[in-house]
Homo-oligomer: A and B are copies of this chain.
Amino acid sequence: MAADPLSRVFSALADPTRRDIVARLAVGDATVNELAAPYDVTVQAVSKHLKVLEDAGLVSRSREAQRRPVHLEANVFDLMTKWIERYRRQAEERYRRLDDVLRSMPDEPPAPTRQEGTPS
């Protein structure tokens, strides 16, 4: 089922229906039937989607009579955001440095490390 938490969260949100459900839940808690209403799929299918979201930690389900209100756990987003920010920053930093290097390189390329066009 994808062992690591990060894979679970990413793959949970890789489905448009599930992202839609998350968007709906951001407004407020809802029952399974309420969540299923907008889509032309069976309630069972939505129940499966909720299980995926729950396994990813994005959602929690409590018990209340025969209803199972679904609640969005927004804090799990942090896991993704941290991962994304880390590599974006790293890549942008690298880009900035490369830019500096290119700027401080008037004519003579001093032994390129690897990857280089050094066009004409």
By size class, the interface of chain A is 35 or more
Integer count of this chain's copies in the complex: 2
> A46 within 8 Å of B by Cβ?
no
Set of chain B residues within 8 Å of A80, measured between Cβ atoms: 80, 84
- With both beta carbons as reference points, the residue of chain B lying nearest to A15 in the complex is identified as B7
With beta carbons under 8 angstroms apart, the residue of B26, B30, B85, B114 that contacts A87 is B26
Set of chain B residues within 8 Å of A13, measured between Cβ atoms: 10
Set of chain B residues within 8 Å of A26, measured between Cβ atoms: 87, 90-91, 94
Contact A14 B16 (CB under 8 A): no
How far apart are the CA atoms of A27 and B13 in the complex, in Å?
A: 27
Set of chain B residues within 8 Å of A81, measured between Cβ atoms: 81, 84-85, 88
